[in-house]
């Protein structure tokens, strides 16, 4: 349809279950033909809105929505300085929406446009968290009873902030997502009390509690499930090298985000000293940041957040690069990836031969109502519905009933500090 044009580009903001979601909707000159895409950057959502409304919308109106590659490339360089989570998420919303439109025009799911399915469904992992070992074990067993085989385990470190220590239960009524549970006031010595909004983190107590958790899970649940763990870049790199060696005995499916992107070279030390599988990537904004990690085989699972790098167009190319080096995909999929983003993840999961695992957030009922066609998970797998495009929609009238809530500092990520007051990088 050479005369088809983009008529309008709109942003839909909604927060049905305490996570701010950003959706881009592209309308075409053909009545009722539109596409939606995920542009969620929950810590800076209004900046993404401005990038879409003020820059991409006037740039795109009148263009042919079929020209996805040209639109992506021209939009990418239109700001001259490129990359970064704001511009990339804005571009991702557009890109995913265009693939949604193309699938609808072809009357095919997007995975068929990519070449068809390499599997029937995508294995997912869920999050078992708790304040103590027994709580994590109980939740993991509940997930196992539901058919899940891959479980990320995180436990609180008594007296300290701990990434991911709560926020998931084996029940579809509750939302899974990153959350920091903290002791707001921690004694440092007998004369001083330090209080920080995000809590106090210290690496050695965390490492001790994490190793104790792995020992407990293997001793109680056994070796028939795959366990994963997220360090979240919080410990000094040399301690991360030691942790990767220590966890080798517990045979993790992968150890995630052992180092911050600034410390990538430390992965070479890990490779030389241990066979612990490594996952990395959710903090990368550009595929160019991860290329050296892939070509040098410094990671086993590529964990990029698809909207963070600009959508499906760059993500499928990155997946193909990973295939050449036998690196598996494990797209980032927490609660602040919208159901539309999860649907986009699934399109690549089904098509990519080097798929590894998919992170999954258990969406509450209200979120599923706002997004009809939300990907279904059963028996530990995410299944496609076979509908054209991304197979998902947004109920705008219902979405409007859940506006963004006011948040301190605009909803910035909690600042976590060491006991001496120094900032810990997430």
Please spell the DSSP secondary structure of 219-260, one letter per residue: HHT-SSSEEEEE-TT-S-HHHHHHHHHHGGGGT-SEEE--S-
149 with 126: CB under 8 angstroms? no
Query: Sorting pLDDT into bands at 50, 70 and 90, what band is 198?
Result: low
In angstroms, the CA 394 to CA 342 distance is 13
Residue 393 has pLDDT above 90, yes or no: yes
* pLDDT of the residue at 165: 63
Query: Sorting pLDDT into bands at 50, 70 and 90, what band is 164?
Result: confident
Q: Could you tell me which residues are beta bridge partners of residue 27?
A: 8, 34
H or E element at residue 422: none
H or E element at residue 346: helix 339-351
**Residue of 359, 351, 356, 291 whose CA lies nearest to 325:** 291
* pLDDT of the residue at 188: 32
Catalytic residue among 127, 149, 196, 232: 232
* pLDDT of the residue at 1: 52
Q: Give pairs for 84-87: CB < 8 Å, separation 24+.
A: 84/285, 85/41, 85/44, 85/285, 85/308, 86/41, 86/44, 86/47, 86/48, 86/51, 87/51
Residue 186 has pLDDT above 50, yes or no: no
Distances (CA, A) of 79 to 15, 86, 87, 204, 287: 29, 12, 9, 44, 18
**For the residues 360-386, what does the mean pLDDT come to?**
96
H or E element at residue 187: strand 185-187
Mean pLDDT score across all residues of the chain: 91
Residue 329 has pLDDT above 90, yes or no: yes
| Range 122-389 has CATH code 3.20.20.120 | yes
140 with 151: CB under 8 angstroms? yes
Q: Is 196 a catalytic residue?
A: no
* pLDDT of the residue at 163: 80
How much helix, strand and coil, in percent to the nearest 5, is found in the chain?
A: 40, 20, 45
Catalytic residue among 111, 150, 160, 163: 163
Query: Sorting pLDDT into bands at 50, 70 and 90, what band is 169?
Result: very low
Query: Sorting pLDDT into bands at 50, 70 and 90, what band is 60?
Result: very high
Work out whether strand 226-230 and strand 150-155 pair parallel, antiparallel, or are unpaired.
parallel
Residue 32 is classified by DSSP as T
Q: Could you tell me which residues are beta bridge partners of residue 25?
A: 10, 36
Q: Where are the domains of the chain?
A: 122-389
Residue 184 has pLDDT above 50, yes or no: no
Percent of the chain exceeding pLDDT 70 equals 92
Q: For the stretch 195-228, what's the b/e string if a residue is b when 16 or more beta carbons lie within 10 angstroms of its beta carbon?
A: ebebbbbbbeebbebbeebbebbeeebeeebbbb
Q: Is 342 a catalytic residue?
A: no
Residue 210 has pLDDT above 50, yes or no: yes
Percent of the chain exceeding pLDDT 90 equals 83
Residue 263 has pLDDT above 50, yes or no: yes
In angstroms, the CA 42 to CA 11 distance is 14
Work out whether strand 21-28 and strand 6-14 pair parallel, antiparallel, or are unpaired.
antiparallel
In angstroms, the CA 274 to CA 276 distance is 6
* pLDDT of the residue at 413: 80
* pLDDT of the residue at 2: 66
Residue 300 is classified by DSSP as S
Angle between helices 266-273 and 237-246 (to 10 degrees): 20
Residue with tokens 């994590």: 136
What are residue 279's phi and psi, to 5 degrees? -120, 140
124 Cβ neighbours under 8 A, 6+ residues apart: 148, 150, 333, 357, 358, 359, 360, 377, 380, 381, 382
Residue 187 has pLDDT above 50, yes or no: no
Distance in Å from the first CA to the final CA of the chain: 47
**H helices within 125-167, ranges in order?**
133-145
């Amino acid at each position: 349809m050479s005369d088809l044009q983009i008529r309008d580009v709109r942003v839909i903001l909604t927060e049905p279950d305490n996570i701010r979601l950003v959706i881009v909707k592209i309308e075409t000159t053909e009545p009722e033909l539109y596409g939606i895409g995920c542009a969620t950057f929950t810590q800076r959502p209004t900046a993404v809105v401005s990038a879409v409304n003020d820059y991409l919308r006037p740039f795109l109106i009148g263009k042919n929505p079929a020209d996805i590659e040209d639109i992506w490339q021209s939009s990418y360089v239109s700001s001259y300085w490129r990359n970064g989570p704001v511009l990339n998420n804005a571009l991702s919303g557009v890109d995913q929406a265009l693939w949604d439109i193309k699938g609808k025009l072809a009357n095919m799911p997007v995975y068929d446009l990519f070449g068809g399915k390499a599997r029937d469904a995508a294995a997912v992992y869920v999050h078992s968290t708790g304040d103590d070992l027994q709580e994590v074990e109980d939740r993991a067993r509940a997930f196992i009873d539901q058919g899940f085989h891959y479980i990320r385990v995180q436990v609180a470190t008594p007296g300290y902030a701990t990434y991911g220590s709560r926020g998931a239960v084996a029940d579809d009524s509750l939302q899974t997502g990153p959350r920091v549970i903290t002791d707001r006031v921690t004694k440092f010595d007998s004369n001083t009390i330090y209080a920080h909004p995000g809590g106090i983190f210290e690496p050695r107590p965390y490492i001790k509690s994490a190793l104790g958790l792995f020992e407990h899970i293997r001793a109680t649940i056994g070796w028939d499930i795959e366990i994963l763990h997220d360090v979240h870049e919080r410990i000094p790199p040399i301690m991360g090298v030691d942790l990767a060696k220590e966890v080798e005995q517990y045979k993790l499916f992968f150890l995630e985000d052992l180092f911050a992107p600034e410390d990538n070279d430390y992965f070479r030390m890990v490779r030389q000293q241990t066979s612990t599988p490594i996952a990395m990537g959710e903090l990368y904004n550009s595929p160019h940041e991860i290329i050296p990690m892939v070509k040098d085989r410094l990671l086993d699972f590529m964990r990029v957040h698809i909207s963070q790098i600009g959508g499906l167009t760059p993500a499928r190319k990155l997946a193909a690069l990973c295939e050449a080096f036998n690196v598996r995909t494990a797209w980032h999929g927490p609660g602040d990836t919208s159901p539309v983003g999860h649907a986009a993840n699934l399109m690549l999961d089904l098509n990519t031969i080097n798929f590894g695992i998919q992170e999954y957030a258990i969406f509450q009922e209200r979120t599923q109502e706002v997004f009809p066609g939300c990907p279904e998970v059963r028996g530990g797998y995410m299944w496609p519905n076979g509908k054209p495009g991304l197979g998902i929609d947004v109920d705008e009238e219902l979405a409007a009933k859940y506006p963004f809530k006011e948040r301190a500092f605009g909803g910035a990520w909690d600042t976590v500090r060491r006991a001496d007051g120094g900032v810990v990088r997430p």
